[in-house]
Structure 1
C-alpha cells in the first residue's frame, strides 16, 4: 500500500523542481534561536539589467537578518535583493495529489463492493433449507456445504475490514494534505537575487540568516553515590526545532549565549528635562487611568541582549545533526565525575527528616547553564528540579533518607516576669533532638538551627548550645552516628525584655 509519506516525498520533488530551497549546512544554535549558514544553487533567468534567481526560506527566518554572498561564478555581481511573503502553492503538486486521491477512493469503493458481494453470498447460504431431495445419506454433505459456504464468505468479509480501514486512514491523510496545499496554510519567504551579468544561467550562493522557533535546553542527570564519595553528572542538550524545514546532516554548534537578532544598533532616545506641564483629565480619562497604569506595569520588560564574547558564553560542537521540523533530539555534551563529601542535614525546627547532602569542591570552574535536572540517589529517582552551576563549590541535596529517624521534643516553653526596680518579661525555650541511625554504615550528621536575631538592644538573650558553632545566624552541630546508634542534642534560649515592650517571638 502506498503511504502518505511516499506521496509527500513526491510532492517535495515537484516543489524543488519549481523553486530552489536553502538547506542548512552550519547552525549555531542558541537557547531560543539559531544563526544559520546555507548553500543554495539558484537557476537564473533574464531580468531587467541582467539576470535574477529566486529561492525560498521558511517563515521562521527573520527577513531582516538575511545575507547573501556569491560563491560561483566568481564574476557574478550581486546588484539587488528583494524579499516577499507568498503562499507555498504548487499547482503541479496539487494536481498530482488529487489524481492519486481519486485512485485511492476508487480502490476503496472496489473493496466495499467486494465486501458487499461476500455478505450477499453469506446471506444466500444462510437462507438455504433442506428440501425433499435431501435423504439420510446426503444430509450431512448438504449441511457441510452450507456451513462451508457461510464460513468462507464471512472470512472474506473479515479480511476486507482492515483493508478498508487502511484506505480510510490514507484518504483522510491525503485530504488533509490537499487542504494544506490548497488553503495557503504554509507561507514562505521568497528571496529574489538580481545580478549584473546577463550570461550566467546558474549561481551558487551562501545564505546566512537568523532562525526562530528553534533552540536547545540543558538537561542534567545527577547521580549521588555516597558509598563511593562521588556524584556522576550527565549533561545533555535537548535540541528542538519547528522551523518548517528539515535539518539534514547539518553541522550544529550549541552556544550558551543568545543571538542579538538585529543588524543595527537601536537609536539614541532623546533625554528631555523640563518643567511638568499640568494636564487636565476628563472624568472618563481619570476613571481609566488606574487600569492603563496597571497594564503598563504588567507589560514585560524588553529582552536583554547578552554580550557574545567568549568570556561570557561557551560553545559546544554537537557534530552532524539530522532533525525533522517539529521533532526533538537529545545530544550528549559532557560526562563528569565530581568527588563529594556526604552528610545528613537535619533542620529540626523545619522538618523531621534527615536529607542527603553533598558538598562538591571542584578544581576548575564549570559553566553549566540553567536547565532541568533529574536527581538520583544510588541510581534511584529522587526528584526533578532546576540546576545550574558557575562556581567551584556546590551544595546538592538528594532527598530525605528514611533510615535516619529524627525526633524533636519540647522540654520547656514558658513565659514569666520579674524584677524589683526594673520590671522585665522573660521567655524560655528548651528542646531535645534525637537522631537515630538505622543504616548499616556510619552516618555523618549535620544539624542546623536559626539563632534568634535580636532587633533591639534592650532585648537580652542567654544561649544554651553545647557543642555548637555559630556563623551567619545559624547554630551548627556535627557528629558521626554509628550504625544502630543515636545522637541526642539538648539546647535552648532564654530572652528578657522590658515589660513595657510588646515583643514578637518569631513564631516559636
Structure 2
C-alpha cells in the first residue's frame, strides 16, 4: 500500500515539475521577446535632429520648419510622440493636425552628429590617431637602437654601428615630418567650428487615445548658430573718364552649425535690420535760460568685418534658373535660393552681379598739409532691388584699395575708392590774420584767403568736387562775405561751399577762395579755422 501511494505521489510531483518547467520557459520566452522589443525600440529612436523642409535665415539667426512622421506609443490612454532638437533651439512651436496636445516635455539628449563638419572632423581625428601611432613606433625603434647591445664582440658592435648610422637619421627625419604634419592637422581641427554635442528630446502627450500607429507632426524653432550676412565687392573701371562703370557683386556669406546637413530644404534669406526693436522714449523739451543741453550718447561705430577667404565658385552664366530669386513684397527683402539644401558649415552664394553706370568724380576737402584727392562715385538705386547694409571690398581696375561698410541711404549709393595718386591739391595761404596759431585776438574784421591748385596727371580730364566749410554765424551783427574765383555754390542746408572744377589731362586748375567776417563790435575770435 505504501509503495503504491509513494509511486502516485512521485507521478504528481513529476507533473507539477513539468508544469513549472513549461511556465518558466514561457516566462523566459516572454522576457526575451520583451528585451528584443526594447532593443528594437532603442535602435529606432532617433538621436539626431531631422532635416528641415525650409529655413529662413536673417543676420541674427534662423527660423527652421520640420515635417516628419513619428511613431505613436500608447501610455495610460495617451498617445506619445518624440523627436530631437539641435542644441540651442528656442521658441518651439508644435502642431499635430487633427489632435490636441495635452503637454510636451524636453530632456537633454546626446546628439549623433551627422553633418558635413562632423565627417571632416572624424577624418581629421582618424588621421591624427594614425600619425600618433606611427610616432610611437618610431620612438620605440629609436629607444631600441639606443639601448645597450646584448653582445659585445667587435664584429657585432661594428655591424650595429653601421646599421645605426643609416637607421637613426632616417627615423629622426621621419619623426620630424610626422610631427610637423600632426601640428598642421591639430590646427585645422582646432579652427573648425564646433557642432553642438547636446540637444533636446521633446516628448509630446496627446489628449485623446490614438488608434494610428504613426502621425505627421509639424514643428518650428529658432536657432542662433545659423544666419547670413551680405558681402559686397565694388570695382571701379577708370578706362574712360566720361562714362565710367562700377562692377558690383553682392554675395551672401551663410553659416549653419546645427550639427546636421539641411538636405533638400528651401532656404530663404531676409534682410532683417540689426538695430533695436523699439524706438527710444520721446525726449523732453525744457525751456530754461540756465539749462545746458543734455549730453547725447555717441553713436556706436560700425566695425568693418575682417576680410574672409572667398569660397564661392564663379556663377554659371548659362544657367536658365537664377541662383537667387528676389522678393520685395514683404516688409523685409527676401531672397529665395534656387538650389535646395544647405550643408553644415560656412558657404558663399552670389545674390546679384551688376554693372552700375557711375560717372566717377574726384573729391577734395583741402587743408594745409593734406594734398589727397579722393575717388568717388554715386549711383541711384532702382526701387525694384534691395541692397542691405554690409561689409564691402573696394577696388579700382581690379586692384584692392581698402575695406569698409556699404550703407545706402535715400535710394542713393555713395562709393569711395580711396585717394587717387595721380590727382592732388596744393593749398597756398595768401592771407590770414596775424598772430600765432590758436591765439585769441579782438578785432572788427577777419580775412582769410587761399589758392587751391589742382594737378591731374591722367591723360583724360577729371571732374573734381572741391568742398569747404561755410562759416556758421551764431551772433547777431556778424556777417560773412566771400570773394571766390570761380564763384562757389552755397549749400546752406549743409553749411558748405562747393566748386565743380574740370582739370584737364596732364594739366592744372586753380580755385581762389577768400572769406571776410565782419562784426559791429569787438569780440574774441580764433585765427585758426578748418
With over 3 angstroms needed to count, the CA separation of the structure-2 counterparts of 1:167 and 1:51, relative to structure 1, is: farther
**Residue 278 (structure 1) aligns with:** none
**Residue 246 (structure 2) aligns with:** 231
Decide which of 358, 381, 389 is 1:340's aligned counterpart: 358
Alpha-carbon distance in structure 2 between the residues aligned to 1:309 and 1:373 = 22
1:441 aligns with 2:460: yes
On the 8 A contact 1:367/1:390 being kept in 2, the answer is: no
| Residue-by-residue CA offset, 1:8-31 (whole Å, 9 max, x unaligned) | xxxxxx987554632222101122
**Residue 201 (structure 2) aligns with:** 190
| Residue-by-residue CA offset, 1:176-212 (whole Å, 9 max, x unaligned) | 9xxx99xxx9442221123444443333322222223
With over 3 angstroms needed to count, the CA separation of the structure-2 counterparts of 1:238 and 1:457, relative to structure 1, is: same
Alpha-carbon distance in structure 2 between the residues aligned to 1:437 and 1:167 = 54
1:493 aligns with 2:505: no
On the 8 A contact 2:89/2:223 being kept in 1, the answer is: yes
On the 8 A contact 2:431/2:448 being kept in 1, the answer is: yes
Number of aligned residue pairs:
405
1:355, distance to aligned residue in structure 2 (A): 0.5
TM-score computed with the length of structure 2 as normaliser: 0.65
Instruction: List aligned pairs for 1:318-467, cutoff 5 A.
Output: 318=337, 319-324=339-344, 327-349=345-367, 351-364=370-383, 366-389=385-408, 391-414=410-433, 425-467=444-486
1:315, distance to aligned residue in structure 2 (A): 0.6
With over 3 angstroms needed to count, the CA separation of the structure-2 counterparts of 1:115 and 1:478, relative to structure 1, is: closer
With over 3 angstroms needed to count, the CA separation of the structure-2 counterparts of 1:87 and 1:496, relative to structure 1, is: same
1:493, distance to aligned residue in structure 2 (A): 1.3
1:413, distance to aligned residue in structure 2 (A): 0.7
On the 8 A contact 1:218/1:369 being kept in 2, the answer is: yes
Aligned with 2:164: secondary structure? helix
Alpha-carbon distance in structure 2 between the residues aligned to 1:237 and 1:110 = 43
Decide which of 233, 238, 242 is 2:257's aligned counterpart: 242
| Residue-by-residue CA offset, 1:3-60 (whole Å, 9 max, x unaligned) | xxxxxxxxxxx98755463222210112212221112332332211143121110232
With over 3 angstroms needed to count, the CA separation of the structure-2 counterparts of 1:353 and 1:127, relative to structure 1, is: farther
| Residue-by-residue CA offset, 1:310-349 (whole Å, 9 max, x unaligned) | 442111012324232xx32212111121101112111113
Alpha-carbon distance in structure 1 between the residues aligned to 2:52 and 2:135 = 45
Aligned with 1:369: secondary structure? coil
On the 8 A contact 1:435/1:488 being kept in 2, the answer is: yes
1:150 aligns with 2:164: yes
With over 3 angstroms needed to count, the CA separation of the structure-2 counterparts of 1:415 and 1:163, relative to structure 1, is: closer
> Gapped runs of 5+ residues in structure 2?
1-41, 113-124, 278-296, 301-326, 436-441
Aligned with 1:248: secondary structure? coil
1:495, distance to aligned residue in structure 2 (A): 1.8
Alpha-carbon distance in structure 1 between the residues aligned to 2:402 and 2:178 = 48
On the 8 A contact 1:37/1:206 being kept in 2, the answer is: yes
On the 8 A contact 2:443/2:523 being kept in 1, the answer is: no
TM-score computed with the length of structure 1 as normaliser: 0.68
On the 8 A contact 2:251/2:349 being kept in 1, the answer is: yes
**Residue 280 (structure 2) aligns with:** none
**Residue 219 (structure 2) aligns with:** 207
Decide which of 142, 154, 166 is 1:130's aligned counterpart: 154
On the 8 A contact 2:467/2:498 being kept in 1, the answer is: yes
Q: Which moved more, 1:244-253 or 1:142-151?
A: 142-151
Alpha-carbon distance in structure 1 between the residues aligned to 2:138 and 2:373 = 72
| Residue-by-residue CA offset, 1:361-414 (whole Å, 9 max, x unaligned) | 345464211111111111111111111225443322111011112110111112
| Residue-by-residue CA offset, 1:236-277 (whole Å, 9 max, x unaligned) | 111123344443342210011369xx9xxxxxxxxxxxxxxx
Alpha-carbon distance in structure 2 between the residues aligned to 1:168 and 1:413 = 69
Aligned with 2:63: secondary structure? strand
Decide which of 254, 257, 263 is 2:269's aligned counterpart: 254
Alpha-carbon distance in structure 2 between the residues aligned to 1:167 and 1:258 = 44
Alpha-carbon distance in structure 1 between the residues aligned to 2:178 and 2:528 = 74
Q: Which moved more, 1:30-39 or 1:15-24?
A: 15-24
Aligned with 1:507: secondary structure? coil
Alpha-carbon distance in structure 1 between the residues aligned to 2:150 and 2:483 = 98
Aligned with 1:232: secondary structure? strand
**Residue 470 (structure 1) aligns with:** 490
Alpha-carbon distance in structure 1 between the residues aligned to 2:182 and 2:485 = 80
With over 3 angstroms needed to count, the CA separation of the structure-2 counterparts of 1:30 and 1:128, relative to structure 1, is: same
Alpha-carbon distance in structure 1 between the residues aligned to 2:135 and 2:376 = 67
1:466, distance to aligned residue in structure 2 (A): 1.9
Alpha-carbon distance in structure 2 between the residues aligned to 1:52 and 1:323 = 31
1:490, distance to aligned residue in structure 2 (A): 1.6
Aligned with 1:149: secondary structure? helix
Alpha-carbon distance in structure 2 between the residues aligned to 1:114 and 1:337 = 60
With over 3 angstroms needed to count, the CA separation of the structure-2 counterparts of 1:439 and 1:81, relative to structure 1, is: same
**Residue 54 (structure 1) aligns with:** 82
On the 8 A contact 1:54/1:192 being kept in 2, the answer is: yes
**Residue 96 (structure 2) aligns with:** 69
